[in-house]
Structure 1
Amino acid sequence: MAVGGLLACGAPGGGGSPDPPPADAPAAAEPERQYLLERVDDAAIVQLYADGFSDLPLREKTLIWHLYQAALAGRDIFYDQRYAHNLEMRVVLEELLVHGGALEPSALEEIHRYAKLFWINTGPFNNLTARRFVLHLTPEAFGAAVHAAASGGAGLPLRDGESVDQLVSRLEPLFLDPDVDPIVTNKSPAAGEDLLLASANNLYDGVSMADLADFEERYPLNSRLVKRNGRLHEEVYSIDGRYGAEIAGIVKHLEAAAPYASEPMAVALEALVQWYRTGEPADRREYDIAWVADRESPVDTINGFTEVYMDARGVKGAWEALVFYVNREKTEAIRTLAEHAQWFEDHMPWDPRYRKAGVRGITANAIDVVVEMGDSGPITPIGINLPNDQTVREEHGSKSVSLTNVVEAYDLSRPPAYRAEFTWDAAEDARAERWGAFAGDMTVNMHEVIGHASGQVAEHVGGNPQTFLKEQYSALEEARADLVALYFIADPKLVEIGVVDAEHHEEVILAEYEAYARNAILQLRRVREGSQLEQDHMRNRQMVVHWLIDNTDA
């Protein structure tokens, strides 16, 4: 599971190396790190730093390089999953930028703004609101820009026999009209609307919920479901199926990475390659088991069709890839929670029937991420717990990671005035400044390690609660993990196991409760258009805080 972050990763700047200073020159002062690079509308472009990478052994650096290439190879899969027109739109945008010298300056400036948002959100839909954002040009100005670029030699995505005028007419509504495919994932459609047909993503084609009433999917996670001539077909994501060329590229680099991996990681990579080759659910399960079994490798990757947030049904997996290495200095706290997972399980505030009698194999690490692609980047999570297969979690365990360099960038990119403006008084402001980051880290760690990783489902559910909770499952599962963290952050057990000191525990508790309530209110500022929330982490937090508003005197 992923805890949604709200920043985009900026790449380090390039440039040549300066001449070295004379041998007797005084040491230069360490330049102050820059985190916030740029704002584009309501998005922040933030720099991540991979501290410690230079100290890794050459073997691990080489492994990371191959895994990085595997992540890049799958980038266009998610672009296509998110919206069927994404790849054509991206070609047009990037050709306009390459040939920007031929465009009107005001038009080029607006295209720059829109292109940055397009790259950040992997298409023309806001990551949080799910609503389409548009290019603020007139149809005439858009057409003139495309024609100017074409005259300069732009490689436009023309179909057979298509003219530039016809291309402009075909794509103009996709760039300029907010009412064309307005919502990428619509889990709350208007009365009478179908949630699949009302969603603009490319996980289905012509399929309604009614069509699925008597249809059993063989490949629920890794297929696109299409309706042709009145019949449903699964287009399986595999090396011989849909996205075959991209998957072949991923497999090539995963196989190149294997010789540099530890033995357990090499086994997991081999299982991942096998799943990419066949697409079979049984092979996916074998990969999940092998990945969880690798508990000590200092470098790791997540690569595949994983999270289901983009699917209004909560079934189809969106492709993502992350490459990361363990931050040893920051791992102690999250591992301590994992070591005491059974105690927390035994004290969960629910019916003992749904507590695990024997917690298995929870691996927890603080990590520094090197690259994030697809569903995990540029909009990045701050914590992850996988696999999502409940039977694998119960029988073999899970892995939790806290993305420490993402959390650091998130904290240090926000100006102090942002916090001061929305705290109740000076005491809350001071508490947030001193303990906010620490309390937030603790909550994320507990959300992943003892939240998502906790509990067992009733036997009649068959290991898959989504079957019963349907499109509401993801938001409810995120709420469950949040509430577990909020419940236990006040428990003296945290002092006993040494992750919080007794002197400051009360301040940490208060800082986190204040921050959680404050965040749920402040996140609404990001919803500039529309009146519904589609992002599951936002839905979860609004649900929790609105329950408090409705049922307490807080």
Structure 2
Amino acid sequence: MSTATFRYLADLKAPFSILEAKPFFNSLDNIQKTYAHHMSRAAFEGTRIIITQTNPRAETIYDLILKIFSNKQGQLTDIQALQQRSEVSPETFEDLLQYSGQFLGNLSNYKSFGDEKFIPRISVKDFEKVVAASELKEEALSLFNQAKDEIYNVEPVTRNLLGYPDDGQLSGYYSDNITKDDIKAVQTYLEKINIDPLNTRLFKTDNGYDLAIASSDFKSETHILENGTPLTLKYGDFHEQMTKVAENIQSSIPVAANDNQRNMLNSYYDSFKTGSIEDHMESQRHWLRDIGPLVETNIGFIETYRDPQGVRAEWEGFVAMVNKEQTEKFNNLVQQAPLFVSRLPWPDTFERDTINKPDFTSLEVLSFATCGIPAGINIPNYTQVTQKLGSKNVSLGNVISASSPGEKFPFIVAEDLDLYKKLRNPAFEVQVGTHELGHGTGKLFNEDTDGKFDFDQDKVIHPFTQQPLSSWYKPGQTFSSVFGGIASSYEECRAECIALTLSPDDDILKIFGYEGQMAEDILYVMYLNMARAGLAALEYYDPIAKKWGQAHMQARYAITRIMMQAGDNFLSINKTKDDEGIDTLEIRLDRSKIRSIGRPAVATFLEKLQVYKATADVENGSKLYLETTSVPDDWVSMRDTVIRNKQPRKVFVQGNTFIDDDGQVILKEYEASPIGMIQSYIERLV
């Protein structure tokens, strides 16, 4: 096996964790459980959308995995009997289980965290033996022959990363023949006619461009771009999935808890039926008015992380139950949000006119249809909505607390290790809370189609030039469309900086229950965890393509660099040897200088991020961010050490809900293993 191929092998023993939700689910009455069931089904009906948006060739692999491990009754096959029939070793069979479980965890053969392809550790020959031994042999062999090249091929290497097709990379949002100039030309036109591309894919044809719009209804209309090229808007993309999503949304309406939920569901239904982003925006207005529901849910084309242009969003949907005890902490944070936001390092004129106190909830996830489950969420992402109505901040408690047996923590020095292990999760909870609060801050300056401004041009002064503003968002523009591919990472960096800027305040730490020495330890571990994440981020940087593969990790790298540049030996990363004499790295952070050196450096960087974002100053904003996230040669050399010490990412096994013959909703959970993951998808039938 070549060194190049070795790089792409699936993790050897990825830790599988149950997303435990049963105690919170069982606290619901059957009407609430029924609502949760239908919304979970609606979310999971988008599974094939997620797969196709990442890699259009991966749906065949998905079907193959389900066929191999299903029996003729459509249930999980006898795994032990399958291994024995295949005549491959137990170790080889385990490698196939790992690949299959990791594929389902990422909903692709590209990692959700890193955007890089992974391949099985099992040989093609042994893979085929297992396929031939399956109960659904004929169907499975047909799928294997269709999929095996996509499963194993790692040439050319550029194709192993998600990105722009004209850089030789892969994207499920675009045809292979499309260029960056094509994408920009279409985007400029869409802004002009006020069509949001969130739920679209773009294909270049012999006659022009086709813009595929996700909806259950079919419709087509042709426009002409300024250069004379036809652009055909084709509604009905993912027709089958969107139809099933809409049906489950309809089934949820009779069991909704209140009018806000019913109005939200009606808007969801209209959006998924017609493809209207305006209707989805309306659903989010109703969602924001539904404060503190026992069952929280959100669904749609939400995050734009994986579109290289930063304007097209992945399908996702979640259903969760409120953790009331934990939510009380966040409610205290929310009550004082205006005070905390006033401490951020930009002028009052750059903050939202009215700080809408966000609804901040700690949730226990029942189901999350996505390529990778986050620890926290701040949505909606529509500026038109959030600047008037605020946002909801969500901390996902059972994601943060999920155990990962045998996890190691490289680069933490011995004297910090026990404290780090003990407080890493509590410190991360503080970080998630203040991070998600941060997403809901900061004003964007806009001009509408009538030439009116949502700010006073005479009174708003640029803090760096001391002159009136010279740039702002023009009609049809959004932060994502202006800042393009860096927008998601840039915003994650802004939120992480807000977390590090606010968290040293004693009153914030007290809200989370930490005072005195414990508060100081939590703060130290929080900063230390950020430094470790910034170093570990090198795993997600491709030095050949000079490309970052993960928005959050690029952001954490930027902050780590800023903390190192703060000076006075606040943060250093040093080369050393481990106990076996092998090269490694160690992180040294001076806890006595967090407030005097670390926080001011991060706050200065944060102000620049916010000011450039607010004023649509893509030139200076991009320059700042790309310079900060560039990787110098000495860091590229450290990347080998990071790769050698990398830890497999946790894979979450989610349960399924079913309605029994008596109309009672039951939750079935599965074992924390690749087999449990596979069984959960077989029984999900999506």
Q: Return the TM-score normalized by structure 2.
A: 0.67
Corresponding residue of 2:28: 56
SS at match of 1:442: helix
Quick check: 92-101 or 454-463, which moved more? Answer: 92-101
Corresponding residue of 2:535: 521
CA contact (8 A) 2:264 2:283 kept: yes
The amino acid across from 1:413 in the alignment is S
CA distance in 2, matches of 1:292, 1:184: 39
Pair 138,423 (structure 1): closer, same or farther in 2 beyond 3 Å = closer
Corresponding residue of 1:232: 209
Q: 2:169 matched to 1:199?
A: yes
Q: 2:104 matched to 1:119?
A: yes
Instruction: Write the deviation string for residues 136-189 of structure 1: whole angstroms up to 9, x where unpaired.
Output: 45555555665x35896431485xxxxx9xx73x533211111258556545xx
How do 1:35-434 and structure 2 match up within 5 A?
A: 40-41=11-12, 43-50=14-21, 51-98=23-70, 100=82, 102-106=85-89, 108-141=93-126, 148=132, 153-156=137-140, 168=145, 170-179=146-155, 183=159, 186=162, 194=164, 198-205=168-175, 206-215=177-186, 216-217=189-190, 218-240=195-217, 241-263=236-258, 264-375=260-371, 379-409=372-402, 412-415=403-406, 418-419=408-409, 422-426=411-415, 428-434=416-422
Corresponding residue of 1:22: none
SS at match of 1:301: strand
Pair 281,69 (structure 1): closer, same or farther in 2 beyond 3 Å = closer
Corresponding residue of 2:639: none
Unaligned runs of 5+ in 2: 1-9, 72-81, 218-235, 447-471, 572-686
Corresponding residue of 1:493: 507
SS at match of 1:461: coil
Q: 2:563 matched to 1:548?
A: yes
The amino acid across from 1:393 in the alignment is T
Deviation at 1:539, TM superposition (A): 0.7
SS at match of 1:226: strand
RMSD after superposition = 2.8
Corresponding residue of 1:440: 428
CA contact (8 A) 2:281 2:385 kept: yes
SS at match of 2:373: strand
Corresponding residue of 1:472: 486
CA contact (8 A) 2:292 2:361 kept: no
CA contact (8 A) 2:162 2:171 kept: no
Deviation at 1:294, TM superposition (A): 1.1
The amino acid across from 1:154 in the alignment is E
Pair 396,97 (structure 1): closer, same or farther in 2 beyond 3 Å = same
Quick check: 42-51 or 520-529, which moved more? Answer: 520-529
CA contact (8 A) 2:68 2:137 kept: no
Corresponding residue of 1:535: 550
Q: Percent identity?
A: 22
Quick check: 459-468 or 118-127, which moved more? Answer: 459-468
CA distance in 2, matches of 1:484, 1:405: 24
Q: 2:467 matched to 1:452?
A: no
SS at match of 1:458: coil
Quick check: 232-241 or 217-226, which moved more? Answer: 217-226
CA distance in 2, matches of 1:122, 1:433: 30
CA distance in 2, matches of 1:152, 1:291: 44
Number of equivalenced pairs: 492
CA distance in 1, matches of 2:185, 2:45: 36
CA distance in 2, matches of 1:533, 1:172: 28
Pair 526,112 (structure 1): closer, same or farther in 2 beyond 3 Å = farther
Deviation at 1:489, TM superposition (A): 0.5
Corresponding residue of 2:580: none
Instruction: Write the deviation string for residues 210-257 of structure 1: whole angstroms up to 9, x where unpaired.
Output: 113432233410111111114112111011211111111111111111
SS at match of 1:304: strand
Deviation at 1:551, TM superposition (A): 4.4
SS at match of 2:529: helix
CA contact (8 A) 1:132 1:181 kept: no
Corresponding residue of 1:461: 473
SS at match of 2:215: coil
CA distance in 2, matches of 1:269, 1:199: 37
CA contact (8 A) 1:40 1:116 kept: no
CA distance in 2, matches of 1:369, 1:310: 23
Deviation at 1:336, TM superposition (A): 1.5
Pair 519,104 (structure 1): closer, same or farther in 2 beyond 3 Å = same
Deviation at 1:374, TM superposition (A): 2.7
CA distance in 1, matches of 2:109, 2:203: 23
Instruction: Write the deviation string for residues 262-298 of structure 1: whole angstroms up to 9, x where unpaired.
Output: 2111211111111111112221211121111111311
Deviation at 1:357, TM superposition (A): 2.9
SS at match of 1:476: helix
CA contact (8 A) 1:186 1:196 kept: no
Deviation at 1:60, TM superposition (A): 1.3
Pair 430,204 (structure 1): closer, same or farther in 2 beyond 3 Å = same
Pair 498,153 (structure 1): closer, same or farther in 2 beyond 3 Å = closer
SS at match of 1:331: helix
CA distance in 2, matches of 1:195, 1:133: 19
Deviation at 1:110, TM superposition (A): 3.8
CA distance in 2, matches of 1:287, 1:123: 29
CA distance in 2, matches of 1:60, 1:145: 42
Unaligned runs of 5+ in 1: 1-38, 159-163, 188-193
The amino acid across from 1:204 in the alignment is Y
CA contact (8 A) 1:136 1:176 kept: no
Q: 2:478 matched to 1:508?
A: no
Instruction: Write the deviation string for residues 30-58 of structure 1: whole angstroms up to 9, x where unpaired.
Output: xxxxxxxxx95263211222132212222
The amino acid across from 2:86 in the alignment is L
CA distance in 2, matches of 1:87, 1:435: 41
Deviation at 1:550, TM superposition (A): 3.9
SS at match of 2:139: coil
CA distance in 1, matches of 2:494, 2:396: 21
